[in-house]
Structure 1
Amino acid sequence: MSCPYHKEPADPKAPAVTEPTIDGPGEPIPQPPERLLTGNLGEIDPSFAVSSFWRLADIYGPIYRLNLLNREVIILSDYELINEVCDDSRFEKATKGVMETLRVFIKNGLFTAYSDEHEWYIAHRTLVPAFGPIKIRKMFDKMVDIASQMVLKLAFDVIGLCAFNYRFNCFYTDEPPEFATRMAETLVEAGRRTNRLTVENALRVFSKREMLDNIDYMWAVCDQIVADRKANPHPDADDVLNVMLTVKDPVSGEGLSDELIRYEMATFLVAGHETTSGTFNFLFYNLLQHPDKLQKCYAEVDEVIGDSAIELAHLPRLKYVEASIRETLRYFGPIPILSRHSRRETVLGGRYRVDPGTVLLCNLRGLHHDPAVWGPDANEFRPERFLNGGWEAMPANAWKPFGTGVRACIGRALAEQEMLITCALIFQRFVVEMADPNYELKMRSTLTIKPADFKIKVRRRPGKDRMVGLAGGPAVSAVHTAPSAKNDARSSAADGGDGLKALAIYYGGNTGTCKSFGEDLQTAAPSYGFSVPDGVRNLDDAVENLPTDRPVLIVTSSYEGQPPDNARGFVAWLETRAESSPDMLKGVAYSVLGAGNKDWASTYHRIPKLVDSLMEKMGAKRLFPAAMVDVSEDIVGPFEDWKAGVFPVIREFSGATSEVKTDELKVDVVHPDAPVKLAGPDISTGLVLVNREIVKKGVGPQKKHMEVLLSPGSRYQSGDYLVVLPYNPRASVLRVMNRFGLHPDDALTVTGTNKEYLSATDGHITALELIGARVELATPISQRQVATLAKKLPISEELAALAADDKLYRSEILDKRVSVLDLLEDFPECDLSFSEYVDMLTPLSPRQYSISSSPLAYPAVSSQGSFPSLSGSGNGGVDEGQTSLTCSITYDVFEGVPALSGHGTFAGVSSTYLSNLGPGSRLRCFVRSTSSSKFRLPADPKTPVILVAAGTGIAPMRAFIQERAAIAGARGKTGSEIFASATLYYGCRAYDEDFLYRDELQGWEKDAGVVKVRPAYSRHGPDGSAGGKHVDEVIWEDRDELVDQFKKGGRILVCGSAARLGRSTHDVFLRIYKETHPEATDEDAEAWLLVQKEDRYLSDVFG
């Protein structure tokens, strides 16, 4: 293999390249409005410039220009334009920006050399053969040597050993090697210097001095490696260092100078370490976000390699692992930008004039997410797109994570082999998990991009010896065998200590309810002769780790038919292995408790039922029938019934004989002599900017629009949720305090329980914090709790009857939403202690609201200056997080009406809390993505969209329409010029009463042309005209048009009440289907709609 350039510069006898031409000045390139003196510099986040390029591409489209202090750059973001600039005969690499800044470190090394530098030609012709296919295959054993040590710092040592036969020995120290630390500091400072003004760089003398000291140190290390090799030659060493020292350029006959060798060594370490480690970060993040894909990787490695030592012949057979790496590099690769410029004046895209030398930044996120190439699921992580001929059918220049043309990365083959080996060894031996199951992706930027503060934890897979996969270790055929049961739980249940038998408890849930059930089981376990030595654990911790030496209790929920976040891996594991490993869970003994909401009728309790059935199918023994809790009704009673039934059964099964009285939950009250000072950290993560009413008073529940400045680094997309942790209404809190004689400042000590939500870091918690912010006060009392209260009364006939009669309990308690506190006030003589009361309560659950804004409509705000309390802290890189985004929510306020229980007025916990917040208030909140549910606008703007909403269900629809309007406005075009049709079907009472965001929507329809609004007025329309219509009726009227849109690939998005809008919309689309398919039965129509709900009929409905 040789360099395409055999002469310097290009052969003058070669045919001249004909540049495309156009008449006239050409089409103007879109550009954001400029500011005096600074041009477009204000559009760029100096801490993470690439994120600004992404945002502006979303707004201005596939091409736009920026004036950055009189330096013009053009950003390209689609396949058509980037494919054109990959033509090396017309365009070449532009060594500008951070690459130019890095020349102070790696000078004219391969990465940062100018394209006309003589040294680049010499080095390229000399080194490309050293990274050819045969050479890379010969590096296999060295890669396995390093990768087998299984630590996250491997990338640095792989480059060192394979290229220079030098060990940095990252694995034997707790900290990264000094070279790696100094290199990271240099890259960060180079990035910062690139984005600063020249005068600011001149003033930062200390940071410059520190960077130069780091460079001197790294140069010295490189020079020492070269000197050692010269003093101790290894003529037979088949490494890159020997090539650089001994091989001459075949064209000029020149060798590489010691100085150039130094720069090339630094280049390899910078480029190889940054890109490979970043890819590993993104790979494991994406796989852990998609447990079904992760399980396919495990299954493939088990099939291909088994427990054998990995061999070179295995690599070509690891198709799915390879596709996962390729998809990671497409979906979120570490290199975000390619920098090019034209050799001559030219025309781009047949309509844009480009001057020679103008920097063209190729936005690889735009290229790799272009639906014209990657299809409507371009924004989804799907390794399967590269299988079954998908890789071979990919258009030229559509996948560019390693650069392009003659300046592409020469170490690509080394990196691909290194990553494949490492992934195979990890999947062969370890179960990989997120260290923080609640981690939300934030990025950091040095030379490359990678997840910030993302950490994984690993544990050895069951049955995998420490030497599995190593030469000399145990070797078996490459056939997966399920881990066998270690012992029989009935005859030898594990000792849990103190004479107790061991019990395992796992939970899956997003809101805290299932976890609190698990903690309640843990608290009760000793009274039945059990302990829970491992504590209450996430269900994902049970992947390949279900114990066979103790009973297993599982508490899990469903979210619109999908597993909760911390159970997705477990469910994917069961689903992936159910058919191939029918005896995999032999020896496991279990019982399942499910939680769900009956308003989601089609997916009610789907996940707990699935877990229960798959575990039995895979050989596990069901000890006690599964029970299901409906959280919309009595949430505690069914749980207590299941608990009372399951413990005696597992006690008999395990042979438990000990009876240890468990500690009862106890709350000690300390009345302080002086008021407690108001102090402590500001725990809120958002700042309320706006909180205004948006309907006339007296028209149903009050409706409000709130805008929140999110904490630095928080990112969202249209369709996501804002999750809010509220406080209980003040009136409810005071009722509790009055009942039990408490003061808000009383210090409480909680003991005798495993309920984590009641714990305090310093041992004490105030009564106000416990009652106001930790527990639900309005949950209906359960039948068992009614019976408990009856026992505390001198005369208990009335409560005893409620506890014994299911029908009476439903009519008098559930239907009227009577809480524990309500009954205590009805029966003041009830001798219930405060400790017993707290033990009856469930944890305060976070509430989620659909975000009603698009991030494209709000400029990012610096986290410094105006909002210093929201500033993030540095962490060794430039995080995607030193600017803050604004989002809005739209919500109903439920308060002021008489409570059904007869106790005062009803006040919704979260809505009352939100309605009382004014501008400047802090709000405990975070963003929850809906990416897994696909509730998004289509990736292809030419896909028709049908939006269906009622009431505050308008929230995500407003975000989608606002996004289209922002894009159309920035590009100076109408919606029809950019997008396919979007139709909003919106239900409200009356035109002039509760038509939310009416003026905005009408403006977006009339002026921007980004939506067609079809309101349905149940009472009256404009000017008092007759109403009487509901959304489904208007949809039925438009059915012919909707059928046409759906045939063109249209997507339906629904948001509103599950029981009303969700049901009626579901039914009307079934009617439309049956009308267009007269032969279809009801079952056929339901089956058709079920298929559409996978990606074309998407709902975000609420109870």
Structure 2
Amino acid sequence: MSQPIPAPPSIPFLGHIGTIDAVLPVSSFYLLAKQYGEIYQLNMLGKKLVVVNSQELLHEVSDEKRFRKVVQSGLVEVRNAAGDGLFTAHVPKEQNWFIAHRILMPSFSAMNMRNMFDDMVDVVSQLVLKWERFGPYYKINPAEDFTALTLEAISFCAMSYRMNTFYMNDVHPFARAMSDFLLESGARARRPALVAPFMRGTNAKYQQDIDVLMGFVDEIIAERRTHPTDKKDILNTMLHAKDKETGLGMTEDNIRRNLLTFLIAGHETTSGMLTFTMYYLLKNPEAMRKLREEVDTVVGSRPMTVDDVNKLPYMIAVMRESLRLGPPASARGASPYEDTVIGGGKYALEKDVTIVCSVYNVHRDTKVWGEDAEEFKPERMLDGKFEAMPPDSWQPFGYGMRACIGRPFAWQEAQITLVYLMQRFTFVLADASYDLRLKQTLTIKPHEFYIHALPRADRKGALPLFSTPAVPRAADAAAQPAPDAASLKPLYVLYGSNTGTSEAFAQRIASAAASHGFRASIATLDSAAGHLPTDGPLAVVTASYEGQPADNAAHFVAWLSALDGEPLAGAAHAVFGCGNHDWALTYQRVPTLVDDALAARGAKRILARGEGDAGAGDFFEAFDRWEARLWEALSKEYGTTKSDGAESGIKIETGDVGTGRASILRQPDAALGTVVENRVLTAPGAPVKRHIEFTLPEGMVYRTGDYLAILPVNPERDVHRALAHFGLLPDQEITIRSVGPTTLPTDRLVNVSSLLSGYVELSQPATTRDLRVLGDLAKDGASKAALADLASAYSEKVLAQRLSVLDLLEAHPSISLPFPSFLQLLPSMRVRQYSIASSPLADAARAALAISVLEAPAMSGRREPFLGVASTYLARLRPNDRVQLAVRPSAAAFHPPADPATPMIMVCAGSGLAPMRGFLQERALQKKGGREVGKSVLFFGCRRPGEDYLYEDSDLKEWAELGVVDVRPAFSRESEKSLGCKYVQDRVWHDRADVVSAWEAGAKIFICGSSKMAAGVKEKLVLVVQDQAKLDHDAATKKFEQITVGRFATDVFE
């Protein structure tokens, strides 16, 4: 007996037309699959679509005896140009397809691919020359350049026609017309038919594009007829070959349609594959290292030969895995010949119903690809694993009779491209924080993805990295050293940073460099992979994140780890490491590795590695001490001297007063979100927690468990304090000139209020260096003595009391600190990351936060309270306010299990509930969609019910009644109402029998909250192991570490 196919809620008459994102349909199909599972149905303006998302169902609908391919959606519109070409023909109705298919199949034989090899190398060499010619600082759009490459390859190799796309200043007219044609074809497919006749201008442009495409094809055919050749290319095959079965050749019109088909399909999908491959390699440095190592071993520095193609197994694995996660053709259409059932008789399908085979979702089916299906792991394609996969698990090229005829062409072209790129370049992301965003036309590609190609130093003709300052971010381009600094000695400041702390420390070194006799350049560690300078020292500041390098240091670490011998002789370095002792097993792992590897490979260590523990009270003080030693060591090594006084590398020119306010945005409009809701979650008198929702910028996507990074501004009160202290007017405008790199806006008028609001941290505790500078400038003995006393007990009297530079200036008016020096002392404004408290299944265009608003008594003795910068900013936002924000991925382990049937044990306190709310919202929607959902236990710590028991009577109540979660609160102020359990770890111990039961059922454990809470919970869990296994504490701790691998994730904040 069949069962109903699930469907989302619909709108009368319109059906689900509003459910599918018109700009990025693949995202909607993905989220619906997460909610409804292996199959669901949609009503699109009266037309029924059935979407299949699992390998099991795809395998069934790939049975060509029961199902046929159907041309649907945008492909129907592509027929306006491609007609009955191989890709868009209606089969079996259009017999030209069979004739063309039989004639053209031999053109893609292994022998013909070998014959095309040299032509492919010719085209790839043009791309390589372009990237070498433009140099390492040119920001490359790989999607555009790979599109040019593949279009040139298909036209030259298949038709012996050079488009010369790499020698044009502008896009080739054919390429522009094709891009516009494909975009409009997709739009027409989504547009109601009644609307189309009224869009006269759009229709005229569409026809104009078709005319350009067909005119280009006609030109190629006419050129060949006028100047015939004996070359056995695909064009000659089309013009002269006969079908052995019928004796017929291809008609003139069918030749035109298939030439255009090859130009469209032959470039669009291959360029997408190459772009996805470049993205996944850059986000997975170990895979990039292995691929480069294989190319270096097999091919070396010699030209590639056709025999090399079959000697690169890891490259094949990389390509297969890239196509798994990023299949350019994300879906295809099918239809049953007769009424039938699939899924073991569960789902009934009517004759001729349209089936959308979501290859994108099937390639993420956890039943065949595992719980890590979202992760890029080429190893899953090696050593016979790929061949052992169930049939139709991997289907990026279609299947059966209608499978992609040009697969061998695309495969060889991609291999040649990757070999030559790996031979010649080291690649880095232009924006190290970039995470995949998709753009969809008829295919999908990475959107707004940019890279730098750095010629390899160990290859002939490669360019040195530091011939100019390191690869700059666009926002910092105007902040490089000025010409008058040319006489200073070069200093290269490199950092690896995810949260901004290491970058801020690096910026402090760079900012202070001029006063110590150095001209600083600042860049990410990744930008130096393969190229370390020897004309000046390296100052490296980098962090460990649970033992892993920062996103913008991963390639450098992989490169450095793979070096042999002493290729870095002549370089000199000093390293400062940031870490957190809460991760004791991996504390300082990356900084130690970098420091030791640099020295082992020939670089001179000019200063012992410094350590900063973010979980300790002297974190900033530790950096201050190391920085002071750094300048001493550099002065001794290079003979430089320090400038006297409070001189900074910044000069300020005052402009007219009151000439208007400058609006300075440090991120493009695309990163502006809009507030739609901001409400208080707690009772009056309780520490405030708020629920805030944003509409995300178009194209910005997130996974449940990710972060939302917010770029805040300082509280108005603190900005006014700074203005008053320095006697500045709020409307005053200034121009900043800098002799070193800076994150301040330079060489243009800037409103001083905007400067103090958005570019510097006014509330950051003063450092020991700051105290020394202020002490030198103090004009009375009492202030000097007070500052010396603060420095002697820095942790207790400065850090603990959150004393800022501004606090100290107000407390000691005798200190005459110039405004430029004040700016120089302050760290630059950094983003704050908050766990997203929603699931994209609820609304992919919206993200929620659940935050604590920090407004606490000022421990410095000031009457006004201490205000948290970001939380105060967020608390005061109103609906329709615009906010600079970005999605940042959380750790790979901190996402809900891919299989919703997996139980979860969640432990949190206060606003640590945020990600757990997103997890549970996703599970609730999946259950409502008919999926089997595992039971979750939520241990939640707060003060008392009715006060700060967040979402108590709304979401948590609804989801508990739905059977998604069992909530176990711990009330610190009324523990008698939580079974005597005061803290959340106490409740975990009290309910340990349920914890053990859930664990034995396969549960994963997630913890979110303060490091102290997380440590307390972990200790209780160790005691549970100790109690269950009858072990001593040390043995229980060791066993806990072993059994929780892959099933235990934390998100800890201070």
The Cα shift of 1:1001 comes to 4.7
Q: Tell me the alpha carbon deviations over residues 13-41 of structure 1, each in whole angstroms, 9 at most, x when there is no partner.
A: xxxxxxxxx5xxx3111122232221221
Q: Tell me the alpha carbon deviations over residues 478-530 of structure 1, each in whole angstroms, 9 at most, x when there is no partner.
A: xxxxx9999xxxxxxxx998554332221222344433433443344344443
Q: What SS is found at the alignment partner of 1:728?
A: coil
Structure 2 counterpart of 1:961, from 920, 923, 930: 920
Return 615-624 or 686-695, whichever deviates more: 615-624
Q: What SS is found at the alignment partner of 1:47?
A: coil
- CA 1:544/1:239 → structure 2, altered by over 3 Å: closer, same or farther? same
Structure 2 counterpart of 1:158, from 135, 153, 162: 153
Structure 1 counterpart of 2:732, from 732, 737, 746: 746
Q: Tell me the alpha carbon deviations over residues 892-918 of structure 1, each in whole angstroms, 9 at most, x when there is no partner.
A: 112153434445322111112211222
The Cα shift of 1:1058 comes to 0.9
- CA 1:1043/1:496 → structure 2, altered by over 3 Å: closer, same or farther? farther
Note the 1:460-471 alignment, pairs <5 A.
Answer: 460-466=455-461
2:680 partner amino acid: E
Query: Are the aligned partners of 1:822 and 1:901 in contact in 2 as well (CA < 8 Å)?
Result: no
- 1:148 counterpart = 2:125: yes
Cα distance in 2 for partners of 1:635, 1:94 equals: 63
Residue 372 of structure 2 corresponds to: 377
Note the 1:595-674 alignment, pairs <5 A.
Answer: 595-597=578-580, 603-630=586-613, 633=617, 637-654=621-638, 664-666=648-650, 668=652, 670=654, 672-674=656-658
Structure 1 length normalisation: TM-score? 0.87
Residue 338 of structure 2 corresponds to: 344
Residue 171 of structure 2 corresponds to: 176
Structure 1 counterpart of 2:989, from 1029, 1033, 1036: 1036
Cα distance in 2 for partners of 1:635, 1:937 equals: 33
Note the 1:504-653 alignment, pairs <5 A.
Answer: 504-532=492-520, 535-575=521-561, 577=562, 581-597=564-580, 603-630=586-613, 633=617, 637-653=621-637
Structure 2 counterpart of 1:323, from 297, 317, 327: 317
- 1:256 counterpart = 2:250: yes
Residue 81 of structure 2 corresponds to: 105
Note the 1:236-247 alignment, pairs <5 A.
Answer: 237-247=231-241
The Cα shift of 1:642 comes to 2.6
Cα distance in 2 for partners of 1:156, 1:299 equals: 29
Structure 2 counterpart of 1:996, from 936, 944, 950: 950
The Cα shift of 1:758 comes to 1.8
Q: Tell me the alpha carbon deviations over residues 1039-1093 of structure 1, each in whole angstroms, 9 at most, x when there is no partner.
A: 344345434543211100012x2101221222233334445762x5555555567
- 1:441 counterpart = 2:436: yes
Residue 848 of structure 2 corresponds to: 888
Cα distance in 1 for partners of 2:585, 2:946 equals: 36
The Cα shift of 1:166 comes to 1.6
The Cα shift of 1:855 comes to 1.4
Query: Are the aligned partners of 2:276 and 2:326 in contact in 1 as well (CA < 8 Å)?
Result: yes
Residue 139 of structure 2 corresponds to: none
- CA 1:315/1:587 → structure 2, altered by over 3 Å: closer, same or farther? farther
The Cα shift of 1:170 comes to 1.4
Residue 185 of structure 2 corresponds to: 190
Q: Matched residues, percent identical? A: 38
- CA 1:680/1:662 → structure 2, altered by over 3 Å: closer, same or farther? closer
The Cα shift of 1:268 comes to 0.8
Residue 1009 of structure 2 corresponds to: 1056
The Cα shift of 1:959 comes to 0.3
Q: What SS is found at the alignment partner of 2:553?
A: helix
Structure 2 counterpart of 1:1070, from 1022, 1026, 1034: 1022
- 1:138 counterpart = 2:115: yes
Residue 272 of structure 1 corresponds to: 266
Structure 1 counterpart of 2:308, from 304, 314, 337: 314
- CA 1:277/1:485 → structure 2, altered by over 3 Å: closer, same or farther? closer
Cα distance in 2 for partners of 1:924, 1:526 equals: 32
Structure 1 counterpart of 2:70, from 94, 101, 106: 94
Query: Are the aligned partners of 1:1005 and 1:1013 in contact in 2 as well (CA < 8 Å)?
Result: no
Cα distance in 2 for partners of 1:1080, 1:156 equals: 67
- CA 1:304/1:702 → structure 2, altered by over 3 Å: closer, same or farther? same
- CA 1:1036/1:331 → structure 2, altered by over 3 Å: closer, same or farther? same
- CA 1:790/1:567 → structure 2, altered by over 3 Å: closer, same or farther? same
Cα distance in 1 for partners of 2:786, 2:943 equals: 43
1:67 partner amino acid: N
The Cα shift of 1:433 comes to 1.8
Structure 2 counterpart of 1:46, from 22, 38, 45: 22
Residue 398 of structure 1 corresponds to: 393
Structure 2 counterpart of 1:828, from 810, 813, 819: 813
1:664 partner amino acid: S
The Cα shift of 1:52 comes to 2.2
Cα distance in 2 for partners of 1:796, 1:657 equals: 28
- 1:1020 counterpart = 2:1015: no
Q: Tell me the alpha carbon deviations over residues 97-122 of structure 1, each in whole angstroms, 9 at most, x when there is no partner.
A: 21111111011010011111211111
- 1:913 counterpart = 2:873: yes
- CA 1:540/1:903 → structure 2, altered by over 3 Å: closer, same or farther? farther
Residue 141 of structure 2 corresponds to: none
Q: What SS is found at the alignment partner of 1:778?
A: coil
Q: What SS is found at the alignment partner of 2:973?
A: strand
- CA 1:497/1:896 → structure 2, altered by over 3 Å: closer, same or farther? closer
- CA 1:1001/1:197 → structure 2, altered by over 3 Å: closer, same or farther? closer
- 1:65 counterpart = 2:41: yes
Cα distance in 2 for partners of 1:1032, 1:347 equals: 51
- Gaps of at least 5 residues in structure 1 are 1-21, 469-482, 487-494, 861-884
Q: Tell me the alpha carbon deviations over residues 956-997 of structure 1, each in whole angstroms, 9 at most, x when there is no partner.
A: 00000001111222x2x4xxx612232211122223322111
Cα distance in 2 for partners of 1:156, 1:332 equals: 20
Q: Tell me how many residue pairs correspond in the alignment.
A: 1015
Query: Are the aligned partners of 2:511 and 2:824 in contact in 1 as well (CA < 8 Å)?
Result: no
- CA 1:724/1:640 → structure 2, altered by over 3 Å: closer, same or farther? same
Q: What SS is found at the alignment partner of 1:918?
A: coil
Cα distance in 2 for partners of 1:1062, 1:1079 equals: 22
Query: Are the aligned partners of 1:500 and 1:656 in contact in 2 as well (CA < 8 Å)?
Result: no
The Cα shift of 1:601 comes to 5.3
Structure 1 counterpart of 2:98, from 118, 121, 145: 121
Note the 1:629-1028 alignment, pairs <5 A.
Answer: 629-630=612-613, 633=617, 637-654=621-638, 664-666=648-650, 668=652, 670=654, 672-674=656-658, 676=660, 685-699=672-686, 701-760=687-746, 763-796=748-781, 799-800=784-785, 802-803=787-788, 808-858=793-843, 885-902=845-862, 904-930=864-890, 932-969=891-928, 971=929, 973=930, 978-1020=932-974, 1024=977, 1027-1028=980-981
Q: What SS is found at the alignment partner of 2:242?
A: coil
The Cα shift of 1:1021 comes to 5.9
- Gaps of at least 5 residues in structure 2 are 129-144, 468-482
Q: Tell me the alpha carbon deviations over residues 201-233 of structure 1, each in whole angstroms, 9 at most, x when there is no partner.
A: 111222222222222222222223223323333
Query: Are the aligned partners of 2:494 and 2:539 in contact in 1 as well (CA < 8 Å)?
Result: yes
Q: What SS is found at the alignment partner of 2:391?
A: coil
Cα distance in 1 for partners of 2:492, 2:768 equals: 28
Query: Are the aligned partners of 1:1001 and 1:1013 in contact in 2 as well (CA < 8 Å)?
Result: no
Q: Tell me the alpha carbon deviations over residues 263-316 of structure 1, each in whole angstroms, 9 at most, x when there is no partner.
A: 111111111110011111111111111122111111111111111211122222
Cα distance in 2 for partners of 1:966, 1:542 equals: 46
Query: Are the aligned partners of 2:465 and 2:528 in contact in 1 as well (CA < 8 Å)?
Result: no
Cα distance in 2 for partners of 1:605, 1:726 equals: 30
Cα distance in 1 for partners of 2:906, 2:442 equals: 41
Cα distance in 2 for partners of 1:786, 1:662 equals: 12
Q: Tell me the alpha carbon deviations over residues 600-635 of structure 1, each in whole angstroms, 9 at most, x when there is no partner.
A: 555544432332223223332211111123456456
The Cα shift of 1:655 comes to 6.2
Structure 2 length normalisation: TM-score? 0.91
Cα distance in 1 for partners of 2:487, 2:69 equals: 72
2:623 partner amino acid: F
Residue 142 of structure 2 corresponds to: none
